[in-house]
Structures are given as C-alpha cells and as structure tokens.
Amino acid sequence: MSKWVRRFTMAACALFLSTSLWAADDSDLTVTETTFRGSISKDVVWFTAYDLGGTIGTNTYVYNDSVGTNSANTDGLVECRNYTKDRVIQISIPTLGSTSIDVRIEGRAGTSTNWGDINTKNFSAATTIDYLINAVEWVEEIRVGARSNGTAGTDSITITGILRGEQR
C-alpha cells in the first residue's frame, strides 16, 4: 500500500470518528453524569398508580402517600429542582367506573408550604391513549393528585412523571 493511500485512509478514519462524536454529542442521547461529567441526564420518576375505587370521596384529592410523611403538606412530593429541561406528566386511565376523575398537577417553590395548581385535567371516559401534560412552570417540588367526581366506582390511573434536565 502506498504512503498516500495510508494517509488518505487515516484521514478518512479521523474525519469519520470526529463526525460520529460530534453527532453523538449533538443528538438526544440519554447519558448520565457518570458517563460524561456535566452532560444532560434523564430520569423517569414514577409518581404512583392509583386505585380510587371507593377509597376517596367526591372532591377529595388522593396523593401518593408512600412519598412524604402522610400529611397534606408532603403527600406525593417529588423533588424536581435539578430537572430544568422537561417536566412532562403522562396520564393513563384504562378503567373509569366513577362519573369522572380530575387529575391535578401541583407545585411549589422556595419556602412556600402551600401548593399551587399547575394544571387540572378532567376525564369523563376511560381512554387507552395516554395524555401528556407539560409542566413548564419553575417549581422545586411537584406532586400529582386524583379525585373522583359524582358516583364513585372502580378506577385505575397510572401517572408517570418524566423529568429531564441538567444536574446542578
């Protein structure tokens, strides 16, 4: 192999490698801080799966009480201050036995002890299509509550929080 063919091959390999690294750096790859320091990380937080059947009354929100200290102030609390890119809540209601269900996303920031309503969505029929709500407000803590309206029945709700951002 001639000297020029070897040089051309080496240059082509170097160009391909640098292009591949640039494309990987610029794409929406999921990397963690342990992989590349300071890179964007992605975390999926499962808020809870609800089974509301007869356990709550009308106009009473239920939160994931496995998180928090089982009080009105901390039930369902999820820290989200490190997730500055995306906060998306995915809601799925495959079974709806109540008249309707309200799902409310709440947030708070700073030293506030009160929760603010970010978004409330009413469901009056079961759906096999997941509903996505983008929580764009800047909050440090977030939680999702659900309540049945009218006649209570057996309901199943899956709520997934997808939080993504740069680690601070």
In whole angstroms, what separates CA 8 from the centre of its chain? 48
pLDDT tens digits, residue range 70-110? 566 777 777 777 777 778 888 888 888 888 888 888 999 88
- pTM here is 0.64
3-state secondary structure of 10: helix
Higher-pLDDT residue of 76 and 123 is: 123
The model's pLDDT over 20-65, given as tens digits with 9 standing for 90+, comes to: 333 334 333 333 334 434 445 556 665 555 555 445 556 678 776 5
Q: Is 145 helix (H, G, I), strand (E, B) or coil?
A: strand
Give the whole-angstrom CA distance, residue 36 versus residue 52: 42
Q: Name the nearest CA neighbour of 109 among 144, 77, 66, 152.
A: 77
Q: Please enumerate in sequence order all residues whose Cβ is within 8 A of that of 130, keeping only pairs 6 or more positions apart, or say none.
A: 90, 91, 92
Q: Are strands 127-134 and 86-95 parallel, antiparallel or unpaired?
A: antiparallel
